[in-house]
Chain A
Amino acid sequence: MRPIDWLTQVLEVVAALAVAPLFQGWVNQCRAWLQNRRAPPLWQVYRGIRKLFHKDAVIATNASPLFRVAPYVVFATMLTAAAVIPSMGTRLPFSPAADAIALVGLFATARMFLALAAMDVGTPFGTLGARREMMVGFLAEPALLMVIFVAALISSTTALPSISERLATGPLVLSPSLAFTGVAFTMVLLAENGRLPIDNPATHLELTMIHEAMLLEYSARHLALMEFASALKLMNYACIGFALFVPWGSATGAAGPFALAAAIPALAVKLLVAGAALALIETASAKLRVFRAPEFLATAFLFAVLGMLVHLLLGA
């Protein structure tokens, strides 16, 4: 491993930490503009997190240590995930430690801790949220894995940086299997990050909420970590999408410092476009009933399966 690879690795994690709240702020801004509202400033998410850190924490009387540990675990898993995903360069020193399947496992770990923590206090909203989160997860997780498998079959490896590198350096063709899986991935991204049409990130007390229902008992620094973690999760998902579907622009192979320097603006452009697209999708869609959510996710799973079948049939 060269020093520049270590630099890339550190830069990716630091960038994820720094940019994730800004990215969420950008999505919120775009949503506001599309809805003819005055947009909050870009760093509004940061402000919210900072405000929460400066408050006294209030914890339910019957909360167990699991409840207090969960925010740290969720945050740390998202941070680790950011280290696995190649957002700027594909020669990451950490990548041999965890491949794409382990990455999905990381997301599952975070989800499980979140759901268990939500059940810990024993409030109706918490358990309701946990149940719905697991309902979304049991179809979204295999769909995400199928998306990754298609990319893995194309590049015959499950290491995410290698997949990204092979897709980036291969011939520039529109592969039909990747088109199908791209749709599936977008649907999974919406569902897993609590976006419309599955969950509404703008609501705080509604009978149909999922993510917010699980966080109702959290306050102050614990809530701040959870909010930060969900911003990181959105950023991570976006970066997985870039690595699989728009891998161009990041520093591949034995690239030097210039390629890395060029990768930073490339990532910024991708994030800007993706954020705007996400806001557009969210504005254009209405929230589904909770029981329609499995259908939505089953469709995503089927799209991913279709993508794999197309790849196996056509070899593309």
Chain B
Amino acid sequence: MTVALGAPLDQILALLCAWVAIGAVGLVRPASLKIAGRTLFPLGAVCGVAIAAIAAIAATHLSQLPERLELPIGLPALPMHLRLDALSATFLVLLGAASAGISLFGAGYFRVGQGTPPGLLCFEYHLFLASMGFVLLADDAYSFMVAWETMALSSYFLVTSQHRIGEIRRAGFLYLLIAHLGALAILLCFGVLQGGSWRFTFDAMRAAHLSAGWAAAAFLLALAGFGTKAGLVPLHVWLPEAHPAAPSPVSALMSGVMLKIAIYGMLRVAFDLLHGLPGWWGLVPVGLGLFSALYGIVFAAAQTDMKRLLAYSSIENVGILFTGLGLAMVFRGAAMPTVAALALIAVLYHALNHAFMKSLLFLGTGSVLHSTGERNLGRLGGLIHRMPWVAWLTLVGALAIAGLPPLNGFVSEWLLLQAFLHANEVPYPFVDMLLPLGAGMVALVGALAGYVMVKFYGVVFLGQPREPSLARAHDAGRTERAGLAWLALGCVALGLLPATIVPALGAVASSLGVGALPARGGPWWMLAPLGPQSISYAPPIFAGTVIAGVLLTVLVVRLAYRRPVRRAPPWACGAGPLTGRTQDTAEGFGQPIRHFFTPWFAMRRHLPTPFDTAPRYSVEIGDRIWRALYEPLAGWVDRGAAACAVFQRGRISTYLLYALATLCLLLALVI
């Protein structure tokens, strides 16, 4: 079959080009919603499914990988190198499968209105998708950076599609600025990685031998560059601004998929390109990751805008991904290959999980936003009655991201915790004592994620509507439902079938030389990563037992006690009828967390006194890192620019004088 249709890499390349072509067709009639919505976005979804399928098949036929291709375009001395290996195939599955659901949703989502016309949006969207695919395939620094920058620029235009709103323009500018700082760090990282050979193919970097100092420099530059894109604290400030500003499918794509591309880059550098780095450098991402995870989830608990809440939750998940990545590095350095593989598998699994659950949640907020026009949690509520499809499908995502079994979030948390429980065996003093405590931190973050999801789901979908206008809310359209259902199905499948997915991810770990899991012994429903006799988790049986328990209870209760059910107004403690305003608000729900983590927030609060005739209560939550780090930085840049402005006189004679002076200086230097 592969002979007739070409190699998997060729097929994927063709499909990526098809994405670009689909986008280009949108440009033919940019104002037409019909072409973009009814035809192009569903076609893009089909391409996504095809890419995921081909990459998945390629990833299971490891003997044919890695597969290379050289295209005669690019720089004269550096043609475009492409390569498909197990790692990139895994992330292509993620890109294709998650984007399929998002594209399907997007088919029904985008409307003609203010901002970017749908055809142009379609072009930017598909260019964004294709550029992410090219990042995954790139095998030299030049094509990687070109694809990376295309990704940044296309997503910038997508973020600012509502460019008439000043706030969104500002968010987009911040994103562009910080994305380029990150890109600069990645460029420098590649500069270090070539190790004096001045050849910028990834093969040359794999072969290069770096001294320990240069290896550390390359690693830190990669951490800064990819950490910026992924939203690692303290480089996260753009994320809660830019992700909510974008239209919801784009937010889903950025949070669900683009952050994973950054993780891919980090994995590629840390486990493939970079050699000779002592394993304990992994403690840096572990520390930063744990801090990011806690920071992200604590701030998520305090948010009142549903999309900002999800954006902060993405920071938490990125933190968990970096924690696992660092853990895998530490274990690899400590010659514990099995556990290193386990940690790496946890990272890959969590990346896949997060792509599905976060996209699902962002799309759910998109449906809510469309039907109510509200992003503020304080003006939502009770939508489960008006939008049952969106509500129930979003519930799957909320339960999954809270890490509840038998859904997918639990599987990766379980894998990561199992890896953490071996951290006391690493041969470094002190580290072997402190590292296992990270498991407690992961548990704390997981429990807080549950808190945040109860707040998010309970305030948006449950309770009574907080505004009368919510009575007019309507459920999502058919294609939107299909997109949501696809992602929810992904969450369930990833939750129930880890025993078939984990060995496939284990092949990625062994192809990177990190380590291998013991040969698989258990049946398809039993996840036993460290061998059949050790720890195990069997989600199908587990889920089956819980569901059977529910059904049995229903049956027994129904058979034994057939009493009727009456409807009555809720009990109001004898006071007047309960309205939407008598229930807890989003601020109120986050209050215990604000109370417990008070020093973390830069809080500005106004409390009414008993004598106020018109009492108002307000609280404003700020990010301390923004005030402590970025505002002074911006001030210095401003002052520096002002100092340079002295030279900018605006008179041609002055500039000619500068030119003459420079020329004289250079002549003096040369002679």
When C-beta atoms are compared, the residue in chain B nearest to A57 turns out to be B565
Within 8 A of A (CB), among B565-622: 565-573, 578, 580, 582-584, 588-589, 591-593, 595-596
For B, the interface residue count at a CB cutoff of 8 angstroms equals: 82
Q: A131, B457: Cβ atoms under 8 Å?
A: no
When distances are taken between beta carbons in the complex, the residues of chain A under 8 Å from B564 are: 56-57
Q: Mark B524-537, 1 if CB is under 8 A from A, else 0.
A: 00101000001111
Q: Mark A54-91, 1 if CB is under 8 A from B, else 0.
A: 11111111101010010011011101100100000000
Answer whether residue A172 sits at the interface, using C-beta atoms and an 8 A cutoff: no
Q: B421, A149: Cβ atoms under 8 Å?
A: yes
Answer whether residue B432 sits at the interface, using C-beta atoms and an 8 A cutoff: yes
Neighbour of B546 across the interface among A80, A101, A119, A312, CB < 8 A:
A80
When distances are taken between beta carbons in the complex, the residues of chain B under 8 Å from A157 are: 534-535
Question: How far apart sit A145 and B437, CA to CA, in the bound complex (Å)?
Answer: 11
Interface of A is mostly: helix
Interface residues on A, range: 35 or more
Answer whether residue A99 sits at the interface, using C-beta atoms and an 8 A cutoff: yes
Q: A64, B462: Cβ atoms under 8 Å?
A: yes
Answer whether residue A253 sits at the interface, using C-beta atoms and an 8 A cutoff: no
Q: B454, A153: Cβ atoms under 8 Å?
A: no
Q: Mark B518-559, 1 if CB is under 8 A from A, else 0.
A: 000000001010000011111001100111011011100100
Q: A308, B414: Cβ atoms under 8 Å?
A: no
Q: B443, A122: Cβ atoms under 8 Å?
A: no
Q: A99, B536: Cβ atoms under 8 Å?
A: yes
Given A72-B554, A124-B584, do A60 and B410 touch, yes or no (CB 8 Å)? Answer: no
When distances are taken between beta carbons in the complex, the residues of chain B under 8 Å from A145 are: 417, 439-440, 443
| Residue of B402, B457, B570, B578 with most partner-chain A CB within 10 A | B570
Answer whether residue B268 sits at the interface, using C-beta atoms and an 8 A cutoff: no
Chain A nearest CB from B165 CB (Å) reads: 32
Question: How far apart sit A220 and B565, CA to CA, in the bound complex (Å)?
Answer: 9
Answer whether residue B382 sits at the interface, using C-beta atoms and an 8 A cutoff: yes
When C-beta atoms are compared, the residue in chain B nearest to A123 turns out to be B570
Neighbour of A304 across the interface among B440, B446, B463, B553, CB < 8 A:
B440
When distances are taken between beta carbons in the complex, the residues of chain A under 8 Å from B625 are: none
Neighbour of B553 across the interface among A53, A225, A294, A308, CB < 8 A:
A225
Answer whether residue B30 sits at the interface, using C-beta atoms and an 8 A cutoff: no
Answer whether residue B178 sits at the interface, using C-beta atoms and an 8 A cutoff: no
Q: B440, A60: Cβ atoms under 8 Å?
A: no
Question: How far apart sit A60 and B566, CA to CA, in the bound complex (Å)?
Answer: 8
Given A99-B537, A123-B578, do A59 and B545 touch, yes or no (CB 8 Å)? Answer: no
Q: Mark B433-462, 1 if CB is under 8 A from A, else 0.
A: 100110110011011101101110111001
Q: A138, B384: Cβ atoms under 8 Å?
A: no
Answer whether residue A14 sits at the interface, using C-beta atoms and an 8 A cutoff: no
When distances are taken between beta carbons in the complex, the residues of chain B under 8 Å from A158 are: 417-418, 421, 535
Q: List 18 A-B contacts (CB under 8 A).
A: A58-B568, A59-B566, A61-B567, A76-B547, A97-B545, A98-B537, A102-B542, A112-B399, A112-B404, A119-B459, A122-B578, A123-B572, A124-B584, A127-B463, A135-B451, A139-B444, A216-B571, A312-B424
Footprint of A on B, CB under 8 Å? 381-382, 384-385, 395, 399, 402-405, 410, 413-414, 417-418, 421, 424, 432-433, 436-437, 439-440, 443-444, 446-448, 450-451, 453-455, 457-459, 462-464, 526, 528, 534-538, 541-542, 545-547, 549-550, 552-554, 557, 560-561, 563-573, 578, 580, 582-584, 588-589, 591-593, 595-596
Footprint of B on A, CB under 8 Å? 53-62, 64, 66, 69, 72-73, 75-77, 79-80, 83, 94, 96-99, 101-102, 105-106, 108-109, 111-112, 115-116, 119-128, 130-132, 134-135, 137-139, 141-142, 145-146, 149, 152-153, 157-159, 216-217, 220-221, 225, 291, 294, 301, 304-305, 308-309, 312-313
